[in-house]
Amino acid sequence: MPVGDCLNNFSACLVRGGASPDIANFISILLGVVLVATVPLVTVIFLIWVERKFAARVQDRLGPNRVGPFGLLQTIADALKMLSKEDITPIGADRFIYNLAPIISFAAVILMWAVVPFTAQHIGADLSIGILYFIAVASIGTVKIMVAGWSSNNKYALLGAFRTIALLLSYEVPLVLALLVPVLIAGTMSMQGIVRGQLGMWYFFMAPVAAIIFFVANLAETGRSPFDLLEAESEIIAGYNIEYSGFKWGIFMASEFLHAFTAALLAAVIFLGGWSGPLAEQIPILGFFYLGLKTAIFYLLSLLIRSTVPRVRVDQVMAFNWKFLVPLSIVNVLVTAFLLKVIQTLGLAPAPDRATDVVANLPQTAVLLVGNLVVIAFALWLTRRGVRAERLAEMEHEEEAVHEMAHSHAAAGD
Amino acid sequence: MVELNIQTFVFFLFSLFTLGGGLGVATTRNLMHAALWLILSLFGVAGLFVLLSAPFLAAIQVLVYIGAIAILIIFAVMLTRSLTSLRTLFNRPAMSAIAAILLFLFLAVGVILPVWGQNGTQGNLPVSDTVGSTADLGVALVDRNQYVLPFEVASLLLTAAMIGAIVIARDDED
């Protein structure tokens, strides 16, 4: 079908229409770039509505429902309101970098969409280092916080920025270590390669520990609850973006929502199989639809956690990261590498011509799954032992205190 | 001489980022701005890595230099006092300029030209066609005949540095 062909392979279509191959290539790449840059912008408008409705329903209220059918146009109304506000720059703030921070914030998130494989044939740029690119771009996001915190000329903004940077830099470590596991299993860092490696069995079943660690580290990286302390409204009054008002604040908020969605999108691509599904390769639009469904699973899960779980303190957050997540992710990588070697020696890996068959992947999946469950059981046992020791020590202290009070009462009574 | 295609344009753009960023670092009076110019310069170097068919190194450059080292430089800058209006302690621009030019000439004539110049030891090597991939880099780091020893020694050094930092920064409790 000519239309289908044109949708899937635009430059070939242009060449057939008579354009020179160079210009056809250039136009098709330009179109790809424009699409990859504008689809997130349009998505974020819908996302904010989803977020508000979901949080509202969890809290037993209705959410926006006046502006447009079901409140769908509420985000546009908010954007118009923010556009019409006065553009304030605080006295003593560094004008240039004060205005630069929201731009870096949004750019860092949209850059992540360049490596997401939407269908089998449509991807922004199929880099051979796709996952590493994602991590590198995520680490650019920390620059914006420093710049925003400093240029506001406000010590609370600076304190908030310090806390935020400490949190983000710490949680990058388990994020990277958890991403090593799908790379080990797939043998490639390219996103399209990882999705193709999952045509037989999703990596979520082969590496659940890595998926959970990736999910939790992303919750911390994007500043969602329970790691909400980046902008804890009741405590540090919006942290590093206190001094931002109007549309600049709107850009910060939009980039945060988009970052959360992008993290869910990448989790779906890396662990749930991306665009793979029945008939996804023949009808590309179906692959897009599957990807949307899988992203929705992770995204709605993160929304649910945000609306229900209380905030953690900054020292609890750091202890959780360095004493639990980092050792767990290191052990996970070691166990997975060892088991992969065992699988290779025993010959349990599926033969290359049967790599997309679910049944052929089962032995490998079973071995890796057992390994992961052993790691989870060990981690839970260690945690239980530690918590129990703490609780017993507390109970002993209480008993001692009660004893002392009884003694002093007896001594005073005599 | 130099063909004008998109690669040349991109090379000039990234060279402009690198050199312009470096110039900005050296000439600005505001330490915070200097740190930001440094980030621009490092980003230019990452672009040059991509042009040299080393995408892995480009990503690592962004991740490590911009995402970690530059952030910590900004931290250190922020914890210094009075950095928006530094007093100049040694202000003799003419002498400094002459010393810098002499150093540049010395380096060019004594080090760069004899090795990479027209008659140098590596001057007339043809540009090789083999492009190593990331997998080759990975193998080179753990291959017995290549770079496994520097790799292991470097990781030992990093571990020692990390432990040392924790020991220095710890509270003095028992």
pLDDT at A3 over 60: no
User: How far out from the chain centre does Cα A363 lie?
Assistant: 30
Q: In this predicted structure, what is the pLDDT of residue B125?
A: 67
Angle at alpha carbon of residue B172, lines to B168 and B174, rounded to 5°:
125
**pLDDT for res A9:** 67
Q: What is the pLDDT of residues B36-85, one digit of tens each?
A: 999 999 999 999 998 888 889 999 999 999 988 998 888 888 777 655 56
- Of A400 and B20, more confident: B20
| Predicted local confidence at residue A4, as pLDDT | 56
Q: Do B133 and A135 touch (CB under 8 A)?
A: no
- pLDDT of res. B105: 93
Residues A262, A105: Cα–Cα separation, whole Å:
13
* A135 contact residues in B (CB cutoff 8 A): 59, 63
Res. B96 pLDDT band, cuts 50 70 90: confident
CB-based burial label for A331 (10 Å; 0-12, 13-18, 19+): middle
pLDDT (mean) for B1-16: 82
The answer to whether residue A175 scores a pLDDT higher than 80 is yes
Going by C-beta distance under 8 Å and a sequence separation of 6 or more, which residues neighbour residue A122? A8, A32, A284, A288
Residues A20-57: tens digit of each pLDDT:
777 777 787 788 888 888 888 888 888 888 888 888 88
Q: Is the pLDDT of residue B165 over 50?
A: yes
A17 vs A6: CA distance, rounded Å: 11
Residue A147 in contact with partner chain B when CB distance is under 8 A: yes
Return the CATH class of domain B1-84. mainly alpha
Query: Do the chains contact at A129 and B55, CB–CB below 8 Å?
Result: yes
The shortest CB-CB distance from B67 to any of A142, A147, A158 is to A142
Inter-chain CB proximity A189 and B66 less than 8 Å: no
Would you tell me the crossing angle of helices B134-142 and B148-169 to the nearest 10 degrees?
A: 80
Task: Supply the pTM of this predicted model.
Answer: 0.86
Over residues A200-253, the pLDDT tens digits come to 788 898 899 999 999 999 988 887 766 666 555 545 555 666 777 778 888 888
Residue of B nearest to A141 (CA): B67
Q: Give the whole-number percent of chain A exceeding pLDDT 70.
A: 89
Share the mean pLDDT of chain A. 83
Average pLDDT over residues A52-71: 84
Q: Count Cβ atoms below 10 Å from residue A77 Cβ, excluding itself.
A: 14
Contact between A136 and B63 using a beta-carbon 8 Å cutoff? yes
Within 8 A of B56 by CB-CB distance, chain A residues are 129, 132
For chain B, domain boundaries: 1-84, 132-174
Do A143 and B71 count as a contact with CB atoms less than 8 A apart?
yes
Chain B residues whose CB is inside 8 A of the A136 CB are 59-60, 62-63, 67
Q: Determine, for residues B134 and A189 on separate chains, whether the beta-carbon distance falls below 8 Å.
A: yes
- Say yes or no to pLDDT of A349 above 80: no
A2 has pLDDT over 70: no
Per-residue pLDDT for B24 more than 50? yes
Task: Kindly report the nearest CA distance between residue A158 and chain B, in angstroms.
Answer: 9
Q: What is the dihedral of CA A336, A341, A345, A350, to 10 degrees?
A: 60
Average pLDDT over residues A97-103: 85
Q: Which residues of B touch A150 (CB under 8 A)?
A: 32, 74, 78
Tens digits of residue pLDDT in A259-309: 989 999 999 999 998 888 887 777 778 888 889 899 999 999 998 888 888
pLDDT at A1 over 50: no
Q: Say what the pLDDT of residue B159 is.
A: 94
Average pLDDT over residues A84-88: 82
pLDDT for residue B109: 87
CA-CA distance, B124 to B174, in Å (whole number)? 64
Residue A91 and residue A153 in contact, taking contact as beta carbons nearer than 8 Å:
yes
Stretch A52-70: mean pLDDT: 85
Which pLDDT belongs to residue A274?
Answer: 83
Q: Say if residue A411's pLDDT is above 80.
A: no
Contact A158 B68 (CB under 8 A): no
Please give the pLDDT value at position B123.
64
Could you tell me the pLDDT band of residue A87, with boundaries at 50, 70 and 90? confident
The pLDDT of A189-207, averaged and rounded, is 87
Q: Would the CB atoms of B71 and A140 count as touching at under 8 Å?
A: no
Q: Cis peptide leading into A226, omega within 30 of 0?
A: yes
